[in-house]
Chains A and B, each alone.
Chain A
């Protein structure tokens, strides 16, 4: 069975500081991994995805994530936080045997001026 954990339900950073949102997965087969962002009162928007090509994946809005099989991790980073990055971030996993995503519990990112 697949599962996703996200360490830290709430992360606060100062504007311009590094953003690091953690995601660890459990999957019995090589996974496909996704990061989605949810702005207030909006749906889920895809930030980036890992599908077994390059382990370092670049997404929209300056975000990137690195797949580390040995650590079963897919942490999301952004070098410099912007106020507009304040949102809820969800890590999700899928594999070849299921159509549906399994989502992590989410991390709320606050960006302080």
Chain B
């Protein structure tokens, strides 16, 4: 069964450093998302992406964040200068269509630890 994959599974970085989290969505999906989950808190939407453009973004997704689809398979989230409060689990998701009734398929997540 096709699945969303994410690398790395765990990333440790120092405050102020740049990190890139990578995702490979399901191959025939066209809509891509990033969510984050701070430890012990709920899953929060960051950004959605379609046709090489951001479709929606939340208040969390400020200028420190960017997304890119550098090739036909990868979808990346970059945090330009990490802060302690960026420590969280980051989930990538993809869906066939943006229609709200379509489920989103989630990857296993990347745990980001900022020290």
By a beta-carbon cutoff of 8 Å, the part of chain A in contact with chain B is 32, 34, 36, 41-46, 49, 51-52, 90, 92, 94-106
Contacts and interface: CB of A to CB of B under 8 A. Distances in A.
Given A32-B101, A100-B33, A100-B48, A43 B109 contact: yes
B51 interface: no
A99 B108 contact: no
Interface residues of B, number: 26
Contacts of A105: 41-42
B106 A102 contact: no
B1 to A, nearest CB: 11
B31 interface: yes
Interface string B33-64: 10100000111110010000001101000000
A44 B43 contact: yes
Contacts, number: 61
A106 B48 CA distance: 22
B38 to A, nearest CB: 11
A99 B4 contact: no
A20 to B, nearest CB: 20
Given A90-B43, A100-B33, A105-B42, 8 more contacts: A34-B103, A36-B106, A43-B108, A44-B93, A94-B101, A98-B56, A99-B100, A103-B43
Interface string B60-103: 00000000000000000000000000000001010000101101
Nearest to B109: A43
Contacts of A104: 42
Contacts of B6: 43
Nearest to A49: B103
Given A98-B100, A99-B98, A44 B42 contact: no
B25 interface: no
